[in-house]
A and B are shown apart, each in its own frame.
Chain A
Amino acid sequence: MALTANTILICAGGACISSGEESVKQALEREISKYALQDAVRIVETGCMGACSLGPLMVIYPEGVFYQKLTPKAAQEIVEEHLLKGRVVEKYLYKGPTGEVVPQVAEKLPFFSRQVRIVTRNVGFIDPKNIEEYIARDGYFALAKVLREMTPEEVIEEVKKSGLRGRGGAGFPTGLKWELTRKGTSQKKFVVCNADEGDPGAFMDRSVLEGDPHTVLEAMIIAGYAIGANQGYIYVRAEYPLAIERLNTAISQAREYGFLGSNIMGTEFSFDIEIRIGAGAFVCGEETALIASIEGKRGQPRVKPPYPAERGVWDCSTLINNVETFANIPPIILKGADWFKSIGTENSPGTKVFALAGKIVNTGLVEVPMGITLKELLYEIGGGSSTGKPIKAVQTGGPSGGCIPAQYFDTPVDYDSLQKLGAIMGSGGMIVMDEDDCMVDVAKFFLEFTVDESCGKCTPCREGTRQMLRILEKITSGEGTEEDLYELEALGETIKDTALCGLGQTAPNPVLSTLEYYRDEYEMHVKEKRCPALKCKDLTRYVIDESKCVGCTACARVCPVNAISGEVRKAHVIDNEKCVRCGSCIEVCRFNAINKVSP
Chain B
Amino acid sequence: MLNVSKIKSLEDLMKIKEKAVKDLQLRDTNTRGKITVAMGTCGIAAGAKDTLKAIVDALNDLNITDISVVQSGCMGLCEVEPTVEVRLLDREPIVYGHVTPENARRIVKLHIVENQIVSDLLVRKGEI
Contact = CB atoms under 8 A, between A and B. Distances in A.
Contacts of A107: 29
A487 B98 CA distance: 86
Contact of B23 (A1, A63, A85, A136): A136
Contacts of A258: 6-8
A144 B10 contact: yes
Contacts of A303: none
B4 A256 contact: yes
Contact of A265 (B8, B52, B56): B8
Contacts of B36: 86
A144 B13 CA distance: 8
Interface string B64-75: 000011111110
B63 interface: no
A7 interface: yes
B62 to A, nearest CB: 16
A43 to B, nearest CB: 12
Interface in A257-301: 257-259, 265-266
Given A6-B70, A84-B73, A138-B17, A257 B4 contact: yes
B31 interface: yes
B28 to A, nearest CB: 7
A135 B4 CA distance: 14
Contact of A136 (B4, B24, B71, B73): B24
B28 A140 contact: no
Contacts of A493: none
B1 A137 contact: no
B26 interface: yes
B11 to A, nearest CB: 10
A3 interface: yes
Nearest to A134: B20
Contacts of B28: 61-62
Given A62-B26, A136-B20, A3 B7 contact: no
Given A1-B49, A259-B7, A62 B17 contact: no
Given A3-B56, A5-B71, A84-B73, A133 B24 contact: yes
Contacts of B26: 4, 6-7, 42, 61-62
Contacts of B1: 130-131, 253, 256
A138 B16 CA distance: 10
A7 B70 CA distance: 11
Interface string A37-66: 000101000000000000000000111100
Nearest to A44: B27
Contacts of B70: 5-6, 62-63, 86
A62 B20 contact: no
Interface in A108-157: 125-126, 130-133, 135-138, 140-141, 144, 148
Contacts of B27: 7, 9, 61-62, 64, 125
A87 interface: yes
A85 B29 contact: no
Contacts of A3: 52-53, 56, 69
A533 interface: no
Given A64-B29, A86-B72, A126 B24 contact: yes
Contact of A62 (B16, B21, B31): B31
B73 A266 contact: no
A76 B71 CA distance: 18
A105 interface: yes
A365 to B, nearest CB: 20
A356 to B, nearest CB: 25
B13 A136 contact: no
Interface string A313-331: 0000000000000000000
Contacts of A105: 29
Given A1-B53, A126-B24, A266-B9, A87 B17 contact: no
Contacts of A131: 1
B91 interface: no
B34 interface: yes
A133 B73 CA distance: 31
B72 A85 contact: yes
B51 to A, nearest CB: 11
A135 B17 contact: yes
A136 B17 CA distance: 4
Interface in B1-48: 1, 4, 6-10, 13, 16-17, 19-21, 23-24, 26-29, 31, 34, 36, 40
29 contacts: A1-B49, A1-B52, A3-B52, A3-B69, A5-B70, A5-B71, A61-B27, A62-B29, A62-B31, A62-B34, A84-B73, A85-B74, A86-B36, A86-B73, A105-B29, A131-B1, A135-B16, A136-B16, A141-B17, A144-B13, A253-B1, A256-B4, A256-B6, A257-B4, A257-B7, A259-B7, A265-B7, A265-B13, A266-B9
Interface of A: 1-7, 9, 40, 42, 61-64, 84-87, 105, 107, 125-126, 130-133, 135-138, 140-141, 144, 148, 253, 256-259, 265-266
Interface of B: 1, 4, 6-10, 13, 16-17, 19-21, 23-24, 26-29, 31, 34, 36, 40, 49, 52-53, 56, 68-74
